[in-house]
Chains A and B, each alone.
Chain A
């Protein structure tokens, strides 16, 4: 019997090595695998390249990983939030490298990797400092620049429900980067609110088919988080 479930987040991050590239899911809190991140922080791997929309906040989750000096490079679209003190400090001291990527280009580079493409041409960024030095071409009368696919060693995401086959279902705005990220890494783990029996997710509601997922781990959300969610339902 196929069983992709793990008991703990520690198992999820056990294989992460120094210098690994990690796709980190979520946009804000929805879809962010907060507990896998905490486990990763304790696991000790260093010189990580993290691909994420932002730079995390405070000194927990991604902010904590950066605070501890585990991150060598961040590939992000919006690390500029005032709450990102950890990143700001390290970046200004030159201790973390930053690659800024327009949000749509970031999503598409990840999607391209998962779809087996080498990259794509897009007008976004042409004629700006983010397009400088990139291969460019006129397509349909418009200048377009070449963007490479973005592969990774690991992808960590959070979903709402998952089963032992790796099928995932998200709720509300959790899908964001997670759907493409699950397709673009060699080793993919999702933390889920609820592990359900096979068949527990209607096939029409499977947003990430299990073929893309190596492991699923059920976690309990922080009480404060649960409070908001329950009241909202």
Chain B
């Protein structure tokens, strides 16, 4: 058993505290905003100058001047603010954004992040990825635990070009929740139906299993059957 993409996003959403300022990357991170517990006030930031961003605009209600960093039409929540790029990136680079939730291709044992250059890409593009990885205090990575070919993405050392060294604080995957510390990787949670040795077998660096390491609390609808899971 493991988690669906929604399951990973659900688990991350539970982690974000009331009042936090959060930037969500593209992919699984985008789904996080849909799973914030009701009544918890979180402020979503978009690089192109929005704080207090709401859900995507309903068809027919788009505003051509209001898009997010992924170029989708979005809405504003009451209390939102709009600003220019220098102000927006002061929020990121000045350490004012509390959490960045980012996708990743590889993460190393010391928290190095590789997520901006893909193998076989034709044209490189960095966008705001480096600014977020260098500037935000709590960088959370969401990704599948394994590549399409079943290889670990959590490695002793990244093989792809780095976005930033030693920046990742937490890794949420379809198999586990891992904290990156100066003492190494701490396995805090594993997906329903898995156990620490299984997670370790899919992870290159050694995992330190914390006392109290437990099964993730994620609703059954976000569990994925073993058949859909990459083989060991």
Interfacial residues, chain A to chain B (CB-CB below 8 A): 27-30, 54-55, 76-81, 84, 87-88, 91-92, 98, 100-105, 107-108, 111, 122-130, 160, 171-180, 207, 225, 228-229, 231-233
CA distance A98 to B50 in the complex (A): 28
Contact flags (1/0) for B99-124 with A, using CB distance below 8 Å? 00000000000000000000001111
Contact flags (1/0) for B133-144 with A, using CB distance below 8 Å? 011000000000
For the complex of A and B, 7 pairs with smallest distance between CB atoms:
A80-B125, A232-B63, A104-B89, A104-B131, A107-B85, A172-B65, A179-B84
Within the complex, the shortest CB–CB distance from A216 to chain B, in Å, comes to 18
Verify if B149 is at the interface (C-beta below 8 Å from A).
no
Contact status of A173 and B89, CB under 8 A, knowing A28-B67, A124-B130, A128-B162: no
Selecting from B27-35, B54-62, B213-221, the interface stretch reads B54-62
Q: Is the CB of A232 within 8 A of B62?
A: yes
Of the candidates B49, B86, B123, B127, the one whose C-beta lies within 8 Å of that of A173 is B49
Contact flags (1/0) for B60-76 with A, using CB distance below 8 Å? 11111111010101000
CA distance A179 to B64 in the complex (A): 19
CB neighbours (8 Å) of A54 from chain B are 125
Shortest Cβ distance from A228 into B: residue: B64
Q: Is the CB of B60 within 8 A of A231?
A: yes
Q: Interface residues of B: mostly helix, strand, loop or mixed?
A: loop
CB neighbours (8 Å) of A177 from chain B are 84-85
Shortest Cβ distance from A129 into B: residue: B161
Q: Which of A30, A54, A87, A173 has the most CB of B within 10 A?
A: A173
Interfacial residues, chain B to chain A (CB-CB below 8 A): 46-50, 57, 60-67, 69, 71, 73, 82-86, 88-89, 92-93, 121-131, 134-135, 161-165
Q: Tally of A-B residue pairs with Cβ under 8 A? A: 159
CA distance A173 to B128 in the complex (A): 16
Shortest Cβ distance from A112 into B: residue: B86
Q: Is the CB of A178 within 8 A of B125?
A: no
Q: What 6 additional pairs, Cβ within 8 angstroms, besides A172-B65, A232-B66?
A: A27-B85, A108-B86, A127-B164, A172-B66, A173-B48, A232-B62
Contact status of A78 and B125, CB under 8 A, knowing A127-B165, A128-B163: yes
Within the complex, the shortest CB–CB distance from B55 to chain A, in Å, comes to 14
Shortest Cβ distance from B165 into A: residue: A127
Shortest Cβ distance from B75 into A: residue: A232
Can you spell out 29 A-B residue pairs with CB atoms less than 8 angstroms apart?
Answer: A27-B67, A29-B64, A76-B125, A77-B126, A79-B123, A81-B125, A98-B123, A102-B126, A102-B127, A107-B84, A107-B85, A107-B88, A111-B86, A124-B93, A125-B130, A128-B161, A128-B162, A173-B65, A173-B82, A175-B49, A175-B83, A177-B85, A180-B85, A228-B62, A228-B63, A229-B63, A229-B65, A231-B62, A232-B64
